[in-house]
Structure 1
Amino acid sequence: MLLSWRYRLPLSFAWSTPGAALLVAAQATTGSFAAAVGAFVVCGVLIVVTGLWPALTRAVTRIPKPIASAMLAGILFPICLAPVRAAVDIPLLALPIIVTWLLLYRLAPRWAIPGALLVTIVAIGMNAGSGWITAASGIPRLIFVPPAFDPLVIVSIGLPLYIVTMAGQNVPGFAVLATFGYPAVPARSVLVGSGLLSAAGAMFGGHAINLAALSAALMAGPDAHPDKAKRWVAAFAGGATYVVLGLGATLAAALVAVSPPLLIATVAGLAMLGALVAGIASALEEPEHRLVAVVTFLVVASGIVVAGVGSAFWGLLVGGLVMLWLGLGKRRISRTS
């Protein structure tokens, strides 16, 4: 809200969507939430450093798109399988959600996920009875979590969270704003501000905050206001709406606590399908790098943990090595010919 008001630009921020997907698999890396919080803090600091060091910003944006996209797709893939599993394991609860999503996606795509979420809430309420309402009556409060800095967890969670947040959210966010005629976005203020807020929020359990990409298109597009100079109000109003939603956090937490985990994963998987499709399409866009993308995807989607380091990091490493190896061979052939 402050940055949108200060620069009169539709600077919309959100939680890192690929980061949230990454955290679904975090328990395979560590059972210590304090260690995960430490990784979140490191991610926020890295975003700040990126904003203060322009060369690092350029280096991050040079991560090959096939590798970054394939890593994102590999992270999302297990989550997007949840609706399939739920349709078999809990059909009475899951199928109405899936059918609602499918119908709305055909008739009113913008309302597909909100409709599926509404049906999920109704299904949870009917399945749990009225006990969860009592649990939701409390006022939201912040709980400080002292961070623990475990090098393995930082490498397994903190670095991949930083990379997917930068490559999958911040960089596309800048591109979306440029597309709608906002090329002079204050990158340093955006990155330093979101990085500091990410590090501070991590102390209370939050993960990375970034410049929005998909929702930025709503705020920066002509639907927000015909006059480009007045669209910042949409982002400002969006921030105020987040505050209102935050005040209802106990209601959301109570619903999640009484619901079958697979049911929550079902609506999350449906919500992530668009991002999965975009990630796969982007990863396979360049024919010469399709093998690199597939290798990266398979390593990340495998969920392997080697030496305490998660699959997202190894997918980046393996994908980069394969790209270097194949590229080296092509250069040699070119020189000989």
Structure 2
Amino acid sequence: MYFRCSIFHPVTRRKPVPCWCALQSSVRREIMLTVNLDKDLCLKCTTIDCLVRCRYLGLDLEQATQERDRLMAEENSQVLEDCVTCYACEEYCPYGNHPFYLIVELQERHGIHPVPKEIEEHQVASLAPKGKIQYREMHAPVIDLCTFPMLKDSITGPLFENASFFWGTDVFCNLMYLHFGKTSLINERLQKNIDNIWNFYLKPNNLDTLVCYHDECYATFTSYAQAYGIEVPFTPVHLFDFIIERLTELKDRIIPLNIRAAYHRNCSNRLIPETHDRVDEIFQMIGVERVERQYEDDNTLCCGLSFDAQQRKDLARDTQKKILDDIQTSGATYCVYNCPMCLFTLQDKVRSINVTPILMPDLCQKALGA
């Protein structure tokens, strides 16, 4: 029912660690404080794709080998200091060996703060669990809006017919703290928030699947949970799989849009690259031509929001200019997003070049006449 098993690495096509996402066991497993990473596999790697391919570090193979060895020894490294937390190295690793999670973990261990401490402390406090969650009646499909209540009005129309939804800091995935070098905070809060979803929203309503509106939530419940041995008692469903299922059911209602669109891939999707090919499948179903661009697919650029938070203002501006120039050159009339934060960050700039910014679900609603 509207999901596919996609929890394996896109290159090796294997599951690097046991899949926890559908476990129904009541046995509590201890959350690992360190990432499940095979150091021997890293040390045998001869290409060091995770570092060589990084567009921000500027390392050649010899330099990358030296920095890799420092990371494997859990020493401080140029990588820890210069990492902009774009998540890309997690996708570039051909073995699914979680280099990015290790980098963030070591940033925290060595006292490196990618984001200034005052900003970090404000974000940690403002999104802390409130401890006020209560049972709510839910019916399938259930949509997890994470901490985006402003999107609740979009959970209507034929695409989301009869859907239930929730949001809040007591169910927040917390994965954004990878940008802050704070894996300990994620691990401290995540299991409790997963338990809240299960015990207050899903289990009492005899439900066991959850549609994740944001890539970051889906990546949390699959990639990150596997890497740290965090138990997820429900089955997470990627939004694109849900959309494809609904469009298939409603195919007689689809009115082809006949537009040309750019797709802005977000950083969180780097953690779950096996879902990215769904974009072309959805576009084909609703009559959208995806334009060719320089900065797309595995060459995508971050929206710049995290660079701003890190006080890398010049990098944020330069990156956003590259994105805008790329979209404008492509001839697209729409730019489609699956990350609300990317949309919020870039929408005014995109409109300034006479391109319409839109979230993927809203684009699909247009094709359904909503």
Give TM-score, length-normalised by structure 1: 0.25
More strand by share: 2
More helix by share: 1
Q: Bigger relative contact order, structure 1 or 2, given CA contacts below 8 A and separation 6+?
A: 1
Q: Structure 2 length normalisation: TM-score?
A: 0.24
